[in-house]
Amino acid sequence: MIRIDAIWLATSPMDMRAGTDTALARVISVFGAAHPHTAYLFTNKRATRIKVLVHDGIGIWLAARRLHQGHFVWPQASALHGTNRVTLSRAQLDALVLGLPWQRMGDAGIITMV
Protein backbone atom coordinates (compact mmCIF):
# COMPACT_ATOMS: atom_id res chain seq x y z
CA MET A 1 0.00 0.00 0.00
CA ILE A 2 0.95 3.64 -0.24
CA ARG A 3 2.86 4.96 2.77
CA ILE A 4 1.45 8.22 4.14
CA ASP A 5 3.44 10.01 6.84
CA ALA A 6 1.71 13.41 6.76
CA ILE A 7 -1.79 14.55 5.85
CA TRP A 8 -2.64 18.12 4.86
CA LEU A 9 -6.07 19.56 4.17
CA ALA A 10 -6.60 22.69 2.04
CA THR A 11 -9.36 24.94 3.38
CA SER A 12 -10.21 26.64 0.09
CA PRO A 13 -12.32 24.66 -2.42
CA MET A 14 -11.00 23.19 -5.68
CA ASP A 15 -12.75 22.44 -8.96
CA MET A 16 -13.39 18.68 -8.88
CA ARG A 17 -12.89 18.44 -12.65
CA ALA A 18 -9.17 18.95 -11.99
CA GLY A 19 -6.89 16.16 -13.10
CA THR A 20 -3.54 15.09 -11.71
CA ASP A 21 -1.52 17.95 -13.20
CA THR A 22 -3.97 20.64 -12.08
CA ALA A 23 -4.25 19.10 -8.60
CA LEU A 24 -0.45 18.94 -8.33
CA ALA A 25 -0.18 22.61 -9.36
CA ARG A 26 -2.75 23.44 -6.67
CA VAL A 27 -0.75 21.50 -4.04
CA ILE A 28 2.37 23.46 -4.94
CA SER A 29 0.54 26.80 -4.83
CA VAL A 30 -1.14 26.10 -1.46
CA PHE A 31 1.52 24.04 0.34
CA GLY A 32 4.71 25.20 -1.41
CA ALA A 33 5.75 21.72 -2.60
CA ALA A 34 4.54 18.15 -2.92
CA HIS A 35 6.54 16.20 -0.32
CA PRO A 36 7.03 12.43 -0.59
CA HIS A 37 4.71 10.24 1.50
CA THR A 38 2.28 13.11 2.04
CA ALA A 39 -1.45 13.26 1.28
CA TYR A 40 -3.11 16.54 0.27
CA LEU A 41 -6.91 16.85 0.53
CA PHE A 42 -9.23 19.24 -1.32
CA THR A 43 -13.00 19.61 -1.46
CA ASN A 44 -15.52 21.31 -3.72
CA LYS A 45 -17.55 24.36 -2.60
CA ARG A 46 -20.46 22.26 -1.29
CA ALA A 47 -18.09 19.80 0.48
CA THR A 48 -19.83 16.82 -1.13
CA ARG A 49 -16.69 15.61 -2.92
CA ILE A 50 -13.04 15.34 -1.97
CA LYS A 51 -9.88 14.69 -3.92
CA VAL A 52 -6.74 13.30 -2.34
CA LEU A 53 -3.37 13.69 -4.02
CA VAL A 54 -0.55 11.53 -2.66
CA HIS A 55 3.11 11.75 -3.64
CA ASP A 56 4.54 8.29 -2.93
CA GLY A 57 8.17 9.25 -3.54
CA ILE A 58 8.12 8.05 -7.16
CA GLY A 59 4.84 9.22 -8.67
CA ILE A 60 1.54 10.90 -7.96
CA TRP A 61 -1.76 9.22 -6.99
CA LEU A 62 -5.09 11.03 -7.25
CA ALA A 63 -8.24 9.64 -5.65
CA ALA A 64 -11.77 11.03 -5.40
CA ARG A 65 -14.67 10.35 -3.04
CA ARG A 66 -18.25 11.58 -3.14
CA LEU A 67 -20.97 11.55 -0.49
CA HIS A 68 -24.46 10.92 -1.82
CA GLN A 69 -26.07 12.40 1.30
CA GLY A 70 -24.76 15.11 3.57
CA HIS A 71 -21.33 16.69 3.23
CA PHE A 72 -17.77 16.33 4.44
CA VAL A 73 -16.91 18.26 7.60
CA TRP A 74 -14.54 20.89 6.24
CA PRO A 75 -13.03 23.83 8.13
CA GLN A 76 -13.54 27.34 6.81
CA ALA A 77 -10.43 29.48 6.31
CA SER A 78 -12.11 32.32 8.20
CA ALA A 79 -12.51 30.10 11.28
CA LEU A 80 -8.79 29.26 11.14
CA HIS A 81 -7.62 32.87 11.26
CA GLY A 82 -6.83 33.08 7.56
CA THR A 83 -4.73 29.94 7.18
CA ASN A 84 -5.36 27.94 4.03
CA ARG A 85 -4.20 24.55 5.31
CA VAL A 86 -4.63 22.19 8.26
CA THR A 87 -2.68 19.09 9.26
CA LEU A 88 -4.58 15.91 10.17
CA SER A 89 -3.75 12.68 11.97
CA ARG A 90 -4.49 9.29 10.40
CA ALA A 91 -7.51 8.82 12.70
CA GLN A 92 -8.84 12.22 11.63
CA LEU A 93 -8.39 11.31 7.95
CA ASP A 94 -10.26 8.03 8.47
CA ALA A 95 -13.16 9.92 10.08
CA LEU A 96 -13.15 12.66 7.43
CA VAL A 97 -13.47 10.31 4.45
CA LEU A 98 -16.47 8.68 6.12
CA GLY A 99 -18.14 12.07 6.53
CA LEU A 100 -17.74 12.07 10.32
CA PRO A 101 -16.72 15.09 12.45
CA TRP A 102 -12.96 14.52 12.34
CA GLN A 103 -12.22 17.44 14.71
CA ARG A 104 -13.41 15.23 17.58
CA MET A 105 -10.68 12.66 16.94
CA GLY A 106 -7.34 12.77 18.71
CA ASP A 107 -6.55 15.21 21.51
CA ALA A 108 -9.66 17.31 20.81
CA GLY A 109 -11.88 14.33 21.67
CA ILE A 110 -10.31 13.43 25.03
CA ILE A 111 -12.65 13.60 28.02
CA THR A 112 -10.74 14.56 31.15
CA MET A 113 -13.53 15.29 33.65
CA VAL A 114 -17.14 14.20 34.12
Q: Which amino acid is at 91?
A: A
Question: Which contiguous run of DSSP H or E holds residue 93?
Answer: helix 90-97
Nearest to 50 by CA among 105, 7, 107, 80: 7
Torsional sign, CA 29, 48, 82, 109: negative
**pLDDT for the residue numbered 80:** 57
pLDDT tens-digit map of 11-53: 889 999 999 999 999 999 999 999 999 999 999 999 999 999 9
Question: Which contiguous run of DSSP H or E holds residue 26?
Answer: helix 20-31
pLDDT tens-digit map of 54-106: 999 899 999 999 998 888 888 766 555 566 788 888 888 888 888 888 877 76
**pLDDT for the residue numbered 110:** 58
